[in-house]
Structure 1
Amino acid sequence: MEIAQEETNAKGRYTATLDGHTGEMTYSRSSPRLVIVDHTFVPDALRGRGVGQALALYAVEEARKGGWKIIPLCPFMRAQTTRHAEWRDVIEG
């Protein structure tokens, strides 16, 4: 699975491509130290294959590298943060 990042101004997204299908996680930068994850989409063809989880983990790893915190407004990301106590260092709130 290939994960890429696109960012323009204060908006961005992580994309995961597998077998010709792409899932995405979108975010907004509210400040240099705070990112709001607001949406995750995984097409039906990729459901159950760990794509959403891979995107969430990628966002966490990027936050750690960049020194920022994540506000998980997206229901999927919020659910993942409750399942992964080891991510608390980068989760705001």
Structure 2
Amino acid sequence: MKPEFTGIPLIKNDSEKQYELTIEGYTAVIRFNETPHHITLVHTEVPAELEGKGAGTAIVEKTLESIEQSGKTLVPLCPFVFAYIKRHPDWKRIVDPGFKGFNQA
């Protein structure tokens, strides 16, 4: 993640079921579903104004850190998050053991 994004807080908006990261007045989001043991990430949206600036990477990294701190496991159904974890396989440590997507990709 770019250093300028490290101090920007990630918001977990439970009522909207999304993680939010506001950069330069624009908000990137990752939508999720949650159970007592898992968080499933289903969709990432980055406003066009933030594309190519590293906002997508920043929200994914901050979201993965938040999930790890929660003690829950991750089900990465969002293609953007799935691709990020394929490029950074150390994050597989938080992926739910029942998720078999990486075995088939």
TM-score interval (norm. to shorter)? 0.7 to 0.9
User: With structure 1 as the length reference, what TM-score do the two structures score?
Assistant: 0.88
Larger Rg: 2
Q: Secondary structure at the match of 2:49?
A: helix
TM-score (norm. length: structure 2): 0.78
Bigger CA drift: 75-84 or 54-63? 54-63
How many residues are treated as equivalent by the alignment?
A: 90
Q: Between the two proteins, what is the percent identity of the paired residues?
A: 28
Shift of 1:23: 0.8
Compute the displacement of 1:4 (Å): 1.4
Paired residue for 1:49, among 53, 65, 90?
53
SS at match of 2:17: strand
Tell me the CA shift for residue 21 of structure 1: 1.0
More strand by share: 1
Coordinate RMSD, CA, aligned: 1.3
The letter of the residue matching 1:4 is I
* Structure 1 unaligned regions, length at least 5: none
Cα deviations across residues 57-85 of structure 1 (Å, max 9, x unaligned)? 11211121111111111110110110111
